Amino acid sequence: MKAAYFEQFGGPEVLQYGDLPDPVAAAGEVLVNVHAASVNAADWKFRSGAYERHSNAKPPFIPGRDFSGAIGAVGAGVTDLKVGDAVFGVLNAGREGTYCEKLAITSAIIAKKPDALSHINAAALALTGLTAIDSVDNTLKLKRGETILIQGGAGGVAGFAIQFAKHIGARVITTTSAANRDYVKSLGADEIIDYNTQDFTKVVSGCDAVFDTVGGDVAQKCFAVLRPGGRAAFIGSGMEAPKPNRSDVTSLRPPVARARAPLERIAKLFEDGAVRPPEVKLYPLSEAAAAHRLSQSRHFRGKLIFQVG
């Protein structure tokens, strides 16, 4: 199969495009012919060696966490999905490898793709949707009528989270650069802060919840805008939630477990018109380095997607 992969951790230039052996579906797994895979920030962190110490895998390394495609073969014991089914999903935590034409994955953690959702858009909504739902609903337990600040509104996860929070019935404040103002407004944001010209801690206060997708200094400053008893969830600050500098708020790190049910929820949200796919920029697998350069710049809108087959 064709794949984008690398042999050594490093910059975008380590990515190569070429042939690697086809995987085989083991018991309980399906073999998926991948039609689309998305670029997530985790992919360039993995490529640069940020997760090296966690990885037992040996090179060549294929990056990528989510995909959409069609089942080409089923392993022993798989009865819930069949050859030809269109499916989408996210690899188990700690596993990378969707920038390729074929992958083997446990059938129990993937879901059927609705016909009305293209493979490109299914790949765009998979890990972003899983993360946004786990953060906003399971972790922050956002309720109708509450106010949430979502940091980094033009990004992949935040773009889903804005729409999902509006669907729940919350009021949404978000941060973005001026270039993406209209985009986040179209996603449903009620109040938009240009982080280049406004300090969000000066113009926002009393929030019930904060969802931070940016990390760094932004993450630590988020506690300032919470009401007493407010809660904040962080996905851009590593696996530990930052320690709050006040004792009357809660700091949380969503676990983002992989499972079929939340993927089916993403599909339903799409079918109900509650969430639409993000703006998408397409790449062939052979241009993985260019896609990583743009993702790593942290300044683009929506999702970068590999159109695989």
Ligand X SMILES: NC(=O)c1ccc[n+]([C@@H]2O[C@H](COP(=O)([O-])OP(=O)(O)OC[C@H]3O[C@@H](n4cnc5c(N)ncnc54)[C@H](OP(=O)(O)O)[C@@H]3O)[C@@H](O)[C@H]2O)c1
Residues near ligand X, by CB under 6 A = 40-42, 127, 131, 151-152, 154-158, 175-177, 180, 195, 213-215, 218, 235-236, 256, 295, 298-301
Can you tell me the distance from the alpha carbon of 191 to that of 39, in angstroms, rounded to the nearest whole number?
Answer: 28
Buried b (16+ CB within 10 A) or exposed e, 173-191: bbbbeeebbebbbebbbee
Closer to ligand X by CB, 177 or 307: give it.
Answer: 177
Can you tell me the distance from the alpha carbon of 219 to that of 224, in angstroms, rounded to the nearest whole number?
Answer: 10
Closer to ligand X by CB, 4 or 25: give it.
Answer: 4
What's the alpha-carbon Rg for the chain, to the nearest Å?
A: 19
Min. distance of Cβ 136 from ligand X in angstroms?
Answer: 13
The three-class DSSP label of residue 272 is coil
The tokens 């406004």 sit on which residue? 198
Closer to ligand X by CB, 89 or 236: give it.
Answer: 236
Closer to ligand X by CB, 31 or 63: give it.
Answer: 63
Min. distance of Cβ 16 from ligand X in angstroms?
Answer: 23
Name which of 161, 159, 87, 164 is nearest 123 in CA terms: 87
Min. distance of Cβ 54 from ligand X in angstroms?
Answer: 13
The three-class DSSP label of residue 38 is strand
Closer to ligand X by CB, 81 or 219: give it.
Answer: 219
Can you tell me the distance from the alpha carbon of 291 to that of 305, in angstroms, rounded to the nearest whole number?
Answer: 8
